């Protein structure tokens, strides 16, 4: 813990002061109303559940033993009956362990246990065990007294993935809602959203995006599709999320065959898949031992509160130097870069971003526990520390002029930017000292973005 905090302080005392939560290592985390969390960890045939308060203190902990005593078991998910304190925790075991369902997306014989518990009393009050021929089950929140179980079936030799839908009510009774031929697709990766009386199912493979719409009784409304593209012929949708009832965000990773340059493509689409806004940028570069590496995505999350897109990445191809940092980027919803931070925290391979209560946290994997640090532009945007990139601005605050010291006389691109991301001016010059005129700026807080084409530093200053 002390080691982690020391690293954090080296980055910036303003960026990360202390962790918001400490949770069990490798626990699955769920947000519950009021800023609280549920965490669940699987150990042998038992699920250990903890209820954590908004201040990080433990409220209660309990455990659930999987009834059939099958091993190994896996946590599927925890889902809430809407507007209640009742939840369902689902676990799964494999009746045919010679083809583990986590490693094989072909239909398998799986046994699920769905157990109801109350958040306030933390009592496990009822459960149902059933066997499904499928490769996965999603629990979808529908109403106060019921939820849907959507079982995904994939028959070998057939191109379609079929979905059978059941209703699980608060009395833990399960009834068929729609047979497997009512929902089907050729694509595998999908997520569902319920807005008003419509279920939206978003799924994609490679650069192909599909949005299906159903009523809440699984009556088909329509299916829409679009092919996204980046550069040349290498395309992969890395992130797709319906951000609100009106639009969805798609972030695609592309690569040119000519020079192996990676590109990021950001797209806002409305729920008819019409393009609202699109930007393509080259992935940031980083120098290690005279070689240049480009950033690859690890995680992307949306900060709904501050309207920010957060990208956590490491460098490609396989930069192995111990000095290679992970990087965290914050973009606003117009795809303007707001903040960029280099990080050397915990276990790089296990660090991640996680969205809880519409805010985004950095999850740092320490030796014995995981630490959650809340991220947002009210915490970021301070002076960022960049190795091998020594530029300074002064005075700060400034009145009529501000100076940029560039001891190595690199060719620099310098932008003046408002806190909302609007560009005021942009210059490119190679000298050891530059002067920026501030006489036309109103009093307030601004950003200076300085880049040498490889490194980028964003510094905040005040005009008085």
Distance CA 461, CA 464 (A): 10
Cis peptide before 155 (omega within 30 of 0): no
Q: What are phi and psi of 151, to 5 degrees?
A: -95, 125
DSSP lists the bridge partners of residue 148 as: 140, 167
Average pLDDT rounded to a whole number, residues 252-265: 71
Cα of 141 vs its chain's centroid, Å: 20
Query: In the prediction, which pLDDT does 316 show?
Result: 60
Euclidean distance between CA atoms 204 and 226, whole angstroms: 10
CATH no. of 392-463 = 2.60.40.3080
**What pLDDT shows up at residue 14?**
36
Tokens (6 digits) for 20: 């918001």
* Range name among 7-21, 105-119, 249-263 with the lowest pLDDT average: 7-21
Nearest to 358 by CA among 426, 307, 292, 318: 307
Helix, coil or strand: residue 5:
helix
382 pLDDT band, cuts 50/70/90, is: very low
pLDDT band at 5, cuts 50/70/90? Answer: very low
Model confidence at 446: pLDDT above 70: yes
Compute the distance between CA of residue 57 and CA of residue 5 in angstroms, rounded to an integer.
Answer: 19
Domain spans, the chain: 392-463
Q: Which of 7-16, 136-145, 222-231, 285-294 has the highest mean pLDDT?
A: 136-145
> What percentage of residues in the chain have a pLDDT greater than 90?
17
| DSSP string over 190-249 | EEEEEETTEEEEEEEETTEEEEEEEETT--EEEEEEEE---BTTEEEEEEEEE-SSSEEE
Strands 369-375, 359-365: pairing kind: antiparallel
Kind plus residue range of the DSSP H or E element containing 394: strand 392-394
Helix H or strand E encompassing 7: helix 2-11
Which of 338, 342, 234 is closest to 286 using CA atoms? 342
> Taking the complete model, does pTM exceed 0.85, yes or no?
no
Helix (H, G, I), strand (E, B) or coil at 348: helix
Contacts 24+ apart (CB under 8 A), 418-422: 418/446, 418/447, 419/381, 419/445, 419/446, 419/447, 420/332, 421/332, 421/334, 421/336, 421/337, 421/338, 422/336
pLDDT, mean of residues 442-451: 81
CA separation for the pair 40, 47 (Å, rounded): 6
Is 206 or 356 the better-scoring residue by pLDDT?
A: 356
Q: Residue 105: which pLDDT band, with cuts at 50, 70 and 90? A: low
**pLDDT band for position 174 (cuts 50, 70, 90):** very high
Assess whether pLDDT exceeds 60 at residue 317: no
| Of 6-20, 27-41, 419-433, highest mean pLDDT | 27-41
Determine whether 184 is exposed, middle or buried from the number of CB atoms within 10 Å of its CB (0-12, 13-18, 19+).
middle
Count CB-CB contacts under 10 A for residue 257.
10
Of 462, 452, 449, nearest in space to 340 by CA:
449
Task: Check residue 6 and give its pLDDT.
Answer: 31
Whether the CB-CB separation of 129 and 102 falls below 8 Å is answered with no
Nearby residues of 334 by Cβ (< 8 Å), 6 or more positions away: 277, 421
**CA end-to-end span of the chain:** 40
Query: Could you tell me if 41 and 61 are in contact, meaning their C-beta atoms sit under 8 angstroms apart?
Result: no
């Amino acid at each position: 813990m002390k080691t982690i905090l020391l690293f954090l302080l080296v980055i910036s005392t303003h960026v990360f002061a202390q962790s918001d939560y400490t949770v069990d290592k490798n626990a699955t985390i769920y947000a519950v109303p009021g800023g609280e969390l549920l965490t669940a960890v699987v150990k042998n045939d038992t699920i250990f559940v903890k209820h954590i308060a908004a201040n990080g203190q433990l409220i209660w902990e309990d455990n659930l033993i999987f009834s059939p005593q099958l091993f190994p078991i896996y946590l599927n998910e925890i889902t809430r009956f809407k507007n209640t304190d009742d939840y369902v925790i689902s676990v799964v075991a494999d009746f045919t362990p010679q083809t583990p369902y986590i490693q094989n997306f072909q239909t398998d014989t799986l046994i699920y246990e769905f157990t109801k518990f109350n958040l306030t009393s933390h009592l496990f009050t009822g459960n149902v065990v059933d066997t499904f021929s499928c490769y996965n089950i999603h629990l979808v929140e529908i109403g106060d007294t019921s939820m849907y179980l959507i079982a995904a079936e994939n028959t070998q030799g057939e191109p379609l993935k079929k979905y059978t839908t059941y209703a699980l009510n608060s009395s833990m009774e399960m009834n068929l809602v729609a047979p497997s031929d009512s929902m089907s697709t050729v694509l595998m990766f999908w997520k569902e959203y319920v807005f008003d009386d419509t279920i939206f199912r978003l799924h994609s493979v490679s650069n192909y995006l599909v949005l299906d719409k159903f009523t809440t009784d699984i009556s088909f409304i329509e299916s829409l599709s679009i092919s996204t593209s980046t550069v040349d012929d290498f395309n992969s949708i890395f992130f797709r999320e319906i951000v609100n009832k009106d639009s969805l965000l798609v972030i695609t990773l592309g690569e040119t065959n000519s020079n192996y340059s990676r590109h990021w493509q950001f797209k806002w689409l409305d729920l008819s898949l019409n393009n609202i806004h699109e930007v393509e940028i080259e992935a940031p570069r980083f120098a290690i031992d005279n070689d240049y590496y480009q950033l690859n995505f690890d995680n992307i999350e949306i900060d709904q509160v501050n309207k920010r897109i957060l990208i956590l990445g490491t460098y490609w191809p396989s930069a192995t130097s111990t000095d290679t940092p992970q990087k965290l980027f914050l973009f606003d919803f117009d795809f303007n870069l707001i903040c960029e931070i280099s990080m050397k925290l915990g276990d790089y391979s296990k660090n991640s971003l996680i969205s809880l209560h519409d805010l985004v946290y950095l999850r740092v994997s320490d030796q014995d526990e995981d630490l959650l640090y809340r991220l947002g532009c009210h915490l970021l945007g301070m002076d960022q520390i960049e190795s091998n990139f020594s530029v300074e601005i002064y005075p700060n605050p400034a009145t009529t002029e501000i100076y940029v010291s560039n001891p190595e006389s690199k060719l620099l691109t310098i932008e003046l930017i408002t806190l909302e991301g609007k560009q005021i001016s942009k210059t490119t010059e190679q000298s050891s000292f530059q002067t920026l005129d501030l006489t036309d700026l109103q009093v307030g807080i601004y950003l200076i973005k300085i880049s040498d084409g490889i490194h980028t530093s964003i510094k905040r200053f005040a005009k008085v």
